[in-house]
């Protein structure tokens, strides 16, 4: 197949939920929803932790549980947010009222950064206190997110860095 000769529609079909690559990743249990970037990030994080003897083993939480993506073998709760740039902003953290009251939603936040080829670039590990320090309120959406900055990267634990 000469990918250069494919139309935009033909290219989109390759990566769409009915495309071969998507179906194969779904059959392997990697993609459970249509959130390809988020699910790849969760997969990379869990695989990295499970194959690194200095990290706890993680298992995926059921889809749809807000702010909870994985559980450790030690009973710790992990939220995993994936972004596609080292200058991005994470997705949403919901239930801002209880977060404002500092009611623990997770023990650790993993920020997974993937590159333009959907490959793992970096994994950052934030504690709840780190999250609380760096969270930003999004008034329009009534939720919180985290902006990836050099200050944040320098302040938190870097679990993996491709560079």
Instruction: State pTM to two decimals.
Output: 0.89
**For residues 82 and 40, what is the distance between their CA atoms, to the nearest angstrom?**
8
**For residues 74 and 56, what is the distance between their CA atoms, to the nearest angstrom?**
7
**For residues 79 and 143, what is the distance between their CA atoms, to the nearest angstrom?**
15
What class, spelled out in words, does domain 38-161 have in CATH? alpha beta
CB 76 within 8 A of CB 68: no
Within the chain, all domains assigned CATH 3.40.210.30 are found at 38-161
Residue 114's nearest CA partner among 20, 21, 62, 44 is 44
**Per-residue pLDDT tens digits of the chain, which is 163 residues long:** 788 998 888 877 777 777 788 888 889 988 888 888 999 999 999 999 999 999 999 999 987 787 899 999 999 999 999 999 999 999 999 888 999 898 989 999 999 999 988 899 999 999 999 999 999 999 999 999 999 999 999 999 999 999 9
How many degrees, rounded to 5, is the angle at CA 120 between CA 119 and CA 124?
A: 155
Q: Which two tokens stand for residue 94?
A: 């919901």
């Amino acid at each position: 197949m000469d990918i250069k000769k494919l139309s935009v529609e033909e290219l989109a079909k390759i990566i769409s939920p009915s495309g071969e690559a998507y179906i194969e990743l779904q059959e392997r249990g990697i993609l459970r929803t249509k959130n390809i970037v988020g699910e790849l990030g969760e997969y990379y994080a869990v695989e990295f932790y499970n194959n690194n003897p200095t990290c706890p083993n993680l298992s995926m939480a059921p889809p749809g549980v807000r702010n909870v993506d994985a559980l450790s073998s030690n009973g710790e709760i992990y939220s995993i947010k994936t972004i596609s740039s080292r200058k991005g902003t994470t997705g949403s953290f919901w239930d801002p009222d209880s977060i404002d009251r500092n009611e623990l939603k997770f023990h650790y936040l993993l920020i997974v950064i993937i590159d333009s080829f959907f490959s793992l670039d970096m994994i950052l590990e934030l504690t709840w206190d780190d999250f609380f320090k760096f969270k930003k309120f999004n008034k329009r959406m009534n939720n919180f997110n985290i902006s990836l900055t050099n200050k944040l990267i320098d302040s938190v634990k870097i679990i993996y860095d491709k560079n």
